Amino acid sequence: MRILYAVNTFRPQIDGVGVSIERQAIGMAERGHSVAIIAPSATFSSYVESHPRYRLYRLRAVAIDRSRRLLPLLSRRGVDAALRDFRPDVVTVSVPFLLSRVVAQVARHRGFPIVGITSMMPEWFYYNLRPIRPLVRLLNRSLWRLITSYYNQCDHVVGVTDTALRLLIDHGLRRPASVISNGVPLDVFHPRPRDTALAARLGVPDRPTVLYVGRLDAEKCMDVWIRAIPLVLDRLDAYFIIGGDGRERRRLEALARSLGVADSVSFIGFRPDDEYPLIFSLGDVFAISSPVELQSIVTLEAAASGLPIVAARAGALPELVRDQENGRLFTSSDPADLAKAILDVLLHPARREQMSARARQSVGQHDFSLTVDRYEQLYQQIVYRDVPVATCAAEAVS
C-alpha cells in the first residue's frame, strides 16, 4: 500500500502527534509499504526530503510566534502536487486545523480515502489564548462542532483512547470508528538501571527524583507541577527533572526561582533520540499535570520504563493510571494534592516497587507492534474493501 500522512508539526519541532505519526510511518515502511509525510517547512519554500523509510514533502510556511507553530501559505497547490506525485492509496490526517485540514480537503476532493486520528480538544485554545479565555469558554460548543465536522468528512476515525473517541461521539461523530492506541515501542522503553554517566552529564544528584518530559506549553499546566515542588521538599530531600521545551519554559524557570526551588530542579530541554529513552532511568516517579491529554505518549513511555505515574484525574489519563496500583491520580490544578500523591509514592519504597512492576505490565496492551498491526489491518480494509471497514461510531466504545 501507499500511505500518506499529514502533520502540522514535525522534526525538528517535537510534539506527540508528530512523534506518533513518524513512528507509525516507519512501522509501515518496515512492513514493506510505501510511505510519505506532508509537513510544514521551517523556511519560506517547498521541497522534498528523502529519508531512509519515507518521503517528506515540506510545504512553505511562516512562523506565527516564536515557537513551533507554523502557518502554511498557499498550501493547497503544494498539497495537490504532493498527492499527484505520491498517488497514495489512503491518506491519514490528524489535527483539524492548518496544514492537516488542507490535506483532508484536497484529498477528499480528489477522492482519496481518509483516516482521521483524534488529536486535540477545544481546551487547547483556552490554555494557549489567554487574552480571549472568556470567549473560548463561550465558543466551546462551536469549537467541538468544528472539530467533529472535520472528522465526519473522514472515511474512518481512530480514537487513540476510549475517552478520545467517546468525546467525539458525544459531540456528534457519525463516521465508522475504532480505538487504536498510539502505542509505545517496548524494546526501546523498558526498565533499566540508573544511567550514572547521563546523570553526571546533566548534573542530576542521587536523590529521589520526580521526572517530566514533554512540551512546556500552557495546556500542560506545568505551573501546578512547579508549585508542588516546595511542598514535596518540606517532607523529602527530592530532586526534579523537566525535559522538553516550549513557550512556557522561561516563565516556568522564573517561577522556580521565585519559589526558591531552582537549585532542586533541572530543565534539560529536548534530548537526542539515542539519549532520550535513558532519561527515564533517572526518575523514581513520573508526574504529569496536564488535564487535557487524549492519551499522552510520554506517559506510555514512562510506564514502559517502569516508572510509577502520578497524573491529573482528567482527560484520558485515568485510562492509563489505576490509582494505588500503577501510580496515583490527583485533583487537576491542585499543587497540594499533586505533592501529596508524589510523596505517597516516594516515601513508601515497597509500594513504589509494586507500582513500578504494574506500570510496566499495564502497557503490554499498548505494544507498538500491536498498533502497527491494527493500522495495517484498517488500511487494508479501507483500500481493498474486502472486509467491513468498522463498527459505527456509536458502537465503537460500547
In a domain, 152, yes or no: yes
Q: Is the separation of the CB atoms in 312 and 332 below 8 Å?
A: yes
Quick one: 346 and 384 in the same domain? no
Torsion of CA 219, 146, 114, 299, to 10 degrees: 20
Quick one: 345 and 379 in the same domain? no
DSSP string for residues in 274-322:
TTHHHHGGG-SEEEE--S--SS-HHHHHHHHTT--EEEESSTTHHHH--
Give the model's confidence band at 66: pLDDT under 50 very low, under 70 low, under 90 confident, else very high: low
67: domain CATH number is 3.40.50.2000
> Containing domain of residue 168, as a range?
2-183+367-396
Quick one: 351 and 379 in the same domain? no
Closest by CA position to 160, among listed 95, 69, 102, 114: 95
* Chain CA centroid to CA 116, Å: 15
Predicted local distance difference test score (pLDDT) of residue 303: 98
In a domain, 189, yes or no: no
Predicted local distance difference test score (pLDDT) of residue 201: 96
Quick one: 127 and 230 in the same domain? no
Say whether pLDDT at 143 is over 60: yes
Calculate the average pLDDT of the chain.
91
Closest by CA position to 326, among listed 358, 348, 366, 286: 358
Predicted local distance difference test score (pLDDT) of residue 74: 63
Mean pLDDT confidence for 65-74: 60
pTM equals: 0.92
- 88-130 pLDDT, tens digit each: 999 999 989 889 999 999 999 999 999 999 988 887 777 766 6
Of 22-26, 120-124, 212-216, 361-365, the range with the lowest mean pLDDT is 120-124
Residue 182 to residue 24: CA distance in whole angstroms: 8
Give the model's confidence band at 65: pLDDT under 50 very low, under 70 low, under 90 confident, else very high: low
Angle of CA points 241, 246, 247, to nearest 5°: 125
Quick one: 79 and 228 in the same domain? no
- 338-395 pLDDT, tens digit each: 999 999 999 999 999 999 999 999 999 999 999 999 999 999 999 987 544 444 454 4
Give the model's confidence band at 142: pLDDT under 50 very low, under 70 low, under 90 confident, else very high: confident
Grid cell digits, residue 395: 458502537
Buried-exposed string 88-127: b where 16+ CB fall within 10 A, e elsewhere: bbbbbbbbbebbbbbbbbbbbeeebbbbbbbbbbbbbbbb
In a domain, 188, yes or no: no
Mean pLDDT confidence for 26-49: 92
Give the model's confidence band at 71: pLDDT under 50 very low, under 70 low, under 90 confident, else very high: low
Quick one: 276 and 348 in the same domain? yes
Number of domains composing the chain: 2
Quick one: 27 and 148 in the same domain? yes
Closest by CA position to 158, among listed 112, 104, 94, 100: 94
Quick one: 224 and 332 in the same domain? yes
- 272-307 pLDDT, tens digit each: 999 999 999 999 999 999 999 999 999 999 999 999
Q: In the chain, count of helices (H) and strands (E)?
A: 17, 16
Q: Distance from first CA to last CA of the chain, Å, rounded?
A: 31
Predicted local distance difference test score (pLDDT) of residue 97: 86
Predicted local distance difference test score (pLDDT) of residue 125: 73
Say whether pLDDT at 398 is over 50: no
Quick one: 372 and 263 in the same domain? no
In a domain, 211, yes or no: yes
Strands (E), the chain: 2-6, 34-40, 47-50, 55-59, 61-63, 70-72, 90-93, 114-117, 156-159, 177-179, 209-213, 239-243, 265-269, 285-288, 309-312, 327-330
- Strands 61-63, 70-72: pairing kind: antiparallel
Quick one: 231 and 267 in the same domain? yes
Residue 319 to residue 312: CA distance in whole angstroms: 11
In a domain, 215, yes or no: yes
Of 4-13, 61-70, 151-160, 267-276, the range with the lowest mean pLDDT is 61-70
In a domain, 190, yes or no: no
Quick one: 166 and 206 in the same domain? no
Quick one: 132 and 248 in the same domain? no
Say whether pLDDT at 61 is over 60: yes
Exposed/middle/buried for 74, CB within 10 Å: 0-12, 13-18, 19+?
A: exposed
* H/E stretch holding 180: none
